[in-house]
Structure 1
Amino acid sequence: MLKTELILTLLNINRIGKKTINKLILNPLPETIDAISILNFIIENLPNYKLNLNIQDVIMAKNKSLNIINYCKKNNIRIMTILDEDFPIKLKIIPNNPVIIFYKGNKSCIIENKSVAIIGTRYPTLESEKITRNLAKLFSNRNYIIVSGLAHGIDYNAHFSTVKNHNKTLAVLPSGISNIYPADHKLLCDEILYNNGCIISEYFPLEAPYKNYFVERDRLQSALSLGVIVVECGVKSGTMYTVNFAEEQNKIICCYKHDKMNYSCRGGNTKLLKDKNVLIIDNNYNINVVENLFENKLHEINTWIHDLTSSNEQILFDF
């Protein structure tokens, strides 16, 4: 809990964000987390930063952090930070990595590596809704955690199909966990939790969704998955952000090839299918090929994590 309080206090100080915290925690942490110790910790390890901090700033930040911790306790919201031993390595190693995660539900959905993101437009065709539900059912029945962003459209259908089949799905929010967005998916969140799934956010519980939060959410969807499956999206769709993050994070990228590709809502599919590194899924699904790739990726990641933890090698964070 002391580590949680430290990270929350740092996040509540103006001009200290994720990148700065990543630098700070490479240094020996303060033995106590009273305001003076935290202030000295910052000043000593960020000598060239002009933060103009004083003790009152830290006291205010510390009080805010305690309020958040108390709020989370009362509302059954759990917290994990980058200082925790079980904070997933897959979240530590990405650029602009999160330093805190708020979650409700099954923690193993965050930690386990056997997961796939199913993503796409908020305004899918009926055909694509059906395809999404079939894919979510198929992969979740094979014990994959289905990851998506709780948005309308493809995301909703991926989550809904998974819980309908009583399987686990992980919803990544672009808002605080007590400020579900979109609001009309609160019932879906209840169903996700009832079926041993999980909802997560890197934002303070009551935060509203901001424009940049949607893009930040996209990087986590990719990071939490072995790969992404694009069902349907336009060229300028937010889905393409997730695809770009997946490419940057060396994830498997799959894209559905529809019988009719001349719809504007499938412009993103058309673009992706021209990329030789993108795996094509069609009406025959190529599921065995896809699953073999995911299983190989899973083995590769698990082996890498085992070797890393066995060697006690320090994980370097991206600044």
Structure 2
Amino acid sequence: MNINDAYLWLKSIDGITNNNINQIESNNIDIKDLINFSDKEIYNLKNINTNIKENIVKYKSLTYLEEIKSSLEKEFIKYVSIHDESYPSNLKNIYDAPKILFYKGNLDVLKNNINLAMVGSRKCTQYGINCAKNISKSLSDMGINIISGLAIGIDTYSHIGCLEGKGKTVAVIGSSLDNILPKRNIKLAQKILDDGGLILSEYNIGSTVYPSNYVHRNRILSGISDGVIVVEAAKKSGALITVDYALDQGKNVFSVPGNINSCMSEGCHKIIKEGATLIHSVEDILNEYQINRDNYIENSKKCDNIKLDEKSIEILELIKDNGILNIDEICDNTKMEIKYVNTILNELVLKDLLIEMNNQVYSLNI
């Protein structure tokens, strides 16, 4: 048995975690030989829970291993261990790196490219949706890959934005690859694969899905990335767990500011205060990685290829200078009637130049 199969066998046994495998290896044994140990030798292993030992004994069979391999093949799922050259290099050196990863798609997309994770709230606002899609697409058009968790909300729109660009998107999920969750994103997962992207999991087929899976998943999400972008997050958002992992792993952290009156921006503002790089435009990210956007013309200025009248430009410049404004403030500053301003604002939103937030509050669509 090779090391890949040893890890595959152990990760197929109910209840065995990555930490359990670390504990088994701490016994200074060759884990490739574990399947040939006697029951007594297994029960004599130190630092291992009795229930785990019982399960190892119960499934100590090469036949069981072959059944698992057959099941993976039927689902077109591949696996790679931490000892393989094809294992994501960024991930190898993090704390508690997964011993084995299961995947569908092209594992090579993580090589020789900048990979940025994008995370945020499941209960996102229209502002967050637009930011996620537009930032993701702009980065993707530069050939940057976007990593996210396939969850509802910001994750979903991060993947969608990347699919519209030139880069590839990678989904790191908290369930097994034969059980894509959430179910409503199964079609999105297939689009990721059809586009040449990648879906990763540390959970073998048939694994039980625990809430803690999604917390542990976040270390992989940040681990395979060169930096983490938080688009929209409440004060206690799960997205901030990914930020904690990123900081522990020495990764760059970026954050999109939001409406100071929105609870969905509290987490973003918190990490900006703590040192995260504020994203005013995509250039703030590109500059961090010394990427020259001069070579990229197609999307550099949205307004360049859109004909606007003087009043529309005046309103755009006003919002640009102030960050966000409600319709009454725009009327006061421009001295235009509200009906006229409302018409212009609607046109600018339709042209994807402005985002309408709550209560007729507007911001630029970065």
Q: Which residue of 2 aligns with 1:273?
A: 272
Q: Which residue of 2 aligns with 1:114?
A: 114
TM-score with structure 1 setting the length: 0.80
Matches of residues 1-319 of structure 1 in structure 2 within 5 Å? 2-13=2-13, 16-22=16-22, 24=24, 29=30, 35-37=35-37, 46=45, 49=48, 51=50, 53=53, 57=57, 59-60=59-60, 62-112=62-112, 114-165=114-165, 167-258=167-258, 260-275=259-274, 277-282=275-280, 285=281, 287-295=282-290
Higher relative contact order (CA 8 A, sep 6+): 1
Q: 1:16 to 1:129 in 2, by over 3 A?
A: closer
CA contact (8 A) 2:6 2:32 kept: no
Q: 1:13 to 1:253 in 2, by over 3 A?
A: same
Shift of 1:36: 2.0
Q: 1:264 to 1:141 in 2, by over 3 A?
A: same
After TM superposition, the structure 1 stretch with the greater mean CA deviation from structure 2, 235-244 or 92-101, is 92-101
Q: 1:230 to 1:66 in 2, by over 3 A?
A: same
CA contact (8 A) 2:137 2:163 kept: no
Determine helix, strand or coil for the equivalent of 2:231. strand
Rounded to whole Å, the distance in 2 between the matches of 1:38 and 1:294 is: 53
Rounded to whole Å, the distance in 1 between the matches of 2:139 and 2:149 is: 17
Shift of 1:124: 1.2
Determine helix, strand or coil for the equivalent of 2:289. helix
Q: 1:29 to 1:295 in 2, by over 3 A?
A: farther
CA contact (8 A) 2:10 2:56 kept: no
Shift of 1:37: 4.8
CA RMSD of aligned residues (A): 2.8
Amino acid corresponding to residue 183 of structure 1 in structure 2: K
CA contact (8 A) 1:7 1:81 kept: yes
Query: Unpaired segments of 5 or more residues in structure 1?
Result: 297-319
Shift of 1:38: 8.2
After TM superposition, the structure 1 stretch with the greater mean CA deviation from structure 2, 202-211 or 182-191, is 202-211
Q: Deviations over 1:40-82 (max 9, x none)?
A: 98679x4565758479816446544332211111121110012
Rounded to whole Å, the distance in 2 between the matches of 1:153 and 1:31 is: 42
Rounded to whole Å, the distance in 1 between the matches of 2:170 and 2:24 is: 30
TM-score with structure 2 setting the length: 0.71
Q: Deviations over 1:15-53 (max 9, x none)?
A: 7532342365585736767x3258798679x45657584
Q: 1:280 to 1:41 in 2, by over 3 A?
A: farther
Shift of 1:143: 1.2
Amino acid corresponding to residue 121 of structure 1 in structure 2: S
CA contact (8 A) 2:138 2:165 kept: no
Number of aligned residue pairs: give it: 289
Q: Deviations over 1:236-289 (max 9, x none)?
A: 11101111111111110000112x2211111111211211x210012xx1x334
Amino acid corresponding to residue 147 of structure 1 in structure 2: I
Rounded to whole Å, the distance in 2 between the matches of 1:239 and 1:213 is: 14
Q: Which residue of 1 aligns with 2:358?
A: none
Amino acid corresponding to residue 281 of structure 1 in structure 2: I
Rounded to whole Å, the distance in 2 between the matches of 1:126 and 1:173 is: 24
CA contact (8 A) 1:116 1:146 kept: yes
Q: 1:180 to 1:17 in 2, by over 3 A?
A: closer
Query: Unpaired segments of 5 or more residues in structure 2?
Result: 292-366
Determine helix, strand or coil for the equivalent of 1:200. strand
Amino acid corresponding to residue 240 of structure 1 in structure 2: L
Rounded to whole Å, the distance in 2 between the matches of 1:106 and 1:38 is: 39
Shift of 1:11: 3.0
CA contact (8 A) 2:116 2:144 kept: yes
Rounded to whole Å, the distance in 2 between the matches of 1:42 and 1:112 is: 42
Q: Deviations over 1:218-242 (max 9, x none)?
A: 1111111111111111011110111
Q: 1:3 to 1:235 in 2, by over 3 A?
A: same
After TM superposition, the structure 1 stretch with the greater mean CA deviation from structure 2, 6-15 or 82-91, is 6-15
After TM superposition, the structure 1 stretch with the greater mean CA deviation from structure 2, 46-55 or 175-184, is 46-55
CA contact (8 A) 2:104 2:200 kept: yes
% identity of equivalent residues:
30
Q: 1:209 to 1:13 in 2, by over 3 A?
A: closer
CA contact (8 A) 1:10 1:61 kept: no
Q: 1:264 to 1:289 in 2, by over 3 A?
A: closer
Rounded to whole Å, the distance in 2 between the matches of 1:23 and 1:48 is: 6
After TM superposition, the structure 1 stretch with the greater mean CA deviation from structure 2, 47-56 or 80-89, is 47-56
After TM superposition, the structure 1 stretch with the greater mean CA deviation from structure 2, 117-126 or 65-74, is 65-74
Rounded to whole Å, the distance in 2 between the matches of 1:247 and 1:228 is: 9
Rounded to whole Å, the distance in 2 between the matches of 1:85 and 1:236 is: 38
Q: Which residue of 2 aligns with 1:303?
A: none
Determine helix, strand or coil for the equivalent of 2:178. coil
Max radius of gyration: which structure?
Answer: 2
